[in-house]
Amino acid sequence: MSVRRIMFMAGETSGDTLAAELLDALRAEGGEVEAFGAGGPKMKAAGVDLDLDLTEHAVVGIWEAISNYRKFKGFFDQLLDLAFERKPEAIIFIDNPGFNLRFVRALRQRAAGTDWRPRIIYYISPQLWAWHSSRVHQIARDVDLLLSIFPFEKEWYAKRAPGFPVEFVGHPLCDRCPDLEFREPHELHDPPRLLLLPGSRAKEISRHLPTMAAAARKLSVEPMIVFPNESLAAQARLITPAVADWDLRIGGLHEALAEADVAIASSGTVTLECAWFRVPTVVLYKTSWITYLLGRLFVKIKHIAMPNVLAEREVFPEFIQRAATPQSLAREASRFLDNTSRRKTLRADLNQIAQTLGQKGAAPRAAKAVVRLLADA
């Protein structure tokens, strides 16, 4: 059996995990894969020949990306040269649209007129439905297969780019999270356990943690806080020394969610994990004012937390920029803790959201779709 040479491009921690899971699933399909590209430690552990760890340089926000332009331009050129040097039969891009969509366009332009036309697979649709629907035509032109993790996206693309191949493979959370027996909404710890999730990037920790910590001090709770690595935990101890006295954990997010009675979380993938574990959650996000103002101009949807997007209404309270104060966060967390009826209503909403995410087997379904595409090449 021939060895498939595939380049993987992931730029964030969540993408690193997705790429590693997809590579394992591709190998389980029975084929050998020579994998290389850019990503993070999980991809490296899965056997990817990692040319660059982009997860160490992940940023969020337009201004943050612009201010790091020269650095990312260097990475961009380095990886584009690598692609043309090794000429894989397929390149799998995982999320990270600010970098990856430009890379796809540059690669197609540079490859025009040559005999190399790799299959381009995009795993996790860029959220064009939220901020940039005009780019759908670029994606339909340049991408051979889009693997979607949200159920509404296939219909969204079908309306705007008929014939563009989009497959809903289900959300990876369905595989990563155990089958749980949830505590009843009226069952709280004494004192209640408040889980703080300030983010997975240094800027997010510095912007969110002081506000979160101040909110926690206003509540009669036992605080827990989870960081993805020791580096961010060390930063947190410097910013807010009080966290050293809390239940501070490195990793173990799902175990912490299973224990939490309420959470205050940075907007991002983690809010969907909070929903999956049926944890009442207050969402916040703070970014640079330039990024925020530009976002106000371009973002087309009402909500930032994905559970609210899927529900098409606010099930998790959201607070952005100046609205994210210790008082507002503590008030909403307290309302969840003090109101059993509200928690019961939220539980029903979260059950419906979880059902929309599909069934277990997202990575195997994605792998089968990739194999089919390559077999047709």
- State the average pLDDT over residues 252-260: 94
Mean of pLDDT over the chain: 89
Helix (H, G, I), strand (E, B) or coil at 266: strand
Helix (H, G, I), strand (E, B) or coil at 88: coil
Q: Quick one: pLDDT band at residue 323, thresholds 50, 70, 90?
A: very high
Long-range contact list for 114-119, CB < 8 A, 24+ apart? 116/84, 116/87, 118/7, 118/83, 118/87, 118/88, 118/89, 118/90, 118/91, 119/89, 119/90, 119/91, 119/144, 119/145, 119/373, 119/374, 119/377
pLDDT of residue 128: 74
Q: Quick one: pLDDT band at residue 293, thresholds 50, 70, 90?
A: low
- State the average pLDDT over residues 292-298: 59
In the chain, what percentage of residues exceed pLDDT 90? 66
Indicate whether 356 pLDDT > 80.
yes
**How does DSSP assign 277-303, residue by residue?**
TT--EEEEE---HHHHHHHHHH--SS-
Indicate whether 11 pLDDT > 70.
yes
- State the average pLDDT over residues 78-88: 96
- State the average pLDDT over residues 183-190: 88
Give the strand order in the sheet containing 4-10: 49-53, 33-39, 4-10, 90-94, 119-123, 145-148, 166-168
pLDDT of residue 121: 98
pLDDT of residue 304: 80
pLDDT of residue 292: 58
Dist CA 354 CA 90 (whole Å): 32
Indicate whether 44 pLDDT > 80.
yes
Please tell me which residue, 14 or 336, carries the higher pLDDT value.
336
Q: For the chain, what are the domain ranges? A: 4-170+361-375, 193-355
Q: State the pTM of this model.
A: 0.81
Cβ contact 285:265 at 8 Å: no
Indicate whether 73 pLDDT > 60.
yes
Report the CATH fold assignment for 4-170+361-375.
Rossmann fold (3.40.50)
Residue 142 Cα distances to 51, 102, 117, 137, 375, angstroms: 24, 11, 11, 9, 19
Task: Name, in order, each residue with C-beta under 8 angstroms of 245's C-beta and a sequence gap of 6 or more.
Answer: none
Report the CATH fold assignment for 193-355.
Rossmann fold (3.40.50)
Q: Quick one: pLDDT band at residue 340, thresholds 50, 70, 90?
A: very high
Question: What stretches of the chain show up as alpha helix (H) in DSSP?
Answer: 13-28, 41-45, 62-67, 69-86, 97-111, 128-131, 136-142, 152-160, 173-176, 202-217, 230-239, 253-259, 269-276, 289-298, 306-311, 326-338, 340-355, 362-375
Peptide bond preceding 210: is omega within 30 degrees of 0, i.e. cis? Answer: no
pLDDT of residue 60: 58
Tokens at 53, concatenated = 């760890």
Residue 368 exposure: Cα atoms within 13 Å on the Cβ side: 8
Q: pLDDT of 156-175, one tens digit each?
A: 899 999 999 999 999 998 88
- State the average pLDDT over residues 268-272: 90
- State the average pLDDT over residues 183-205: 91
- State the average pLDDT over residues 24-49: 92
- State the average pLDDT over residues 240-249: 93
Whether 4-170+361-375 and 193-355 share one fold: the answer is: yes
- State the average pLDDT over residues 276-303: 76
Lowest mean pLDDT: which of 78-82, 116-120, 129-133? Answer: 129-133
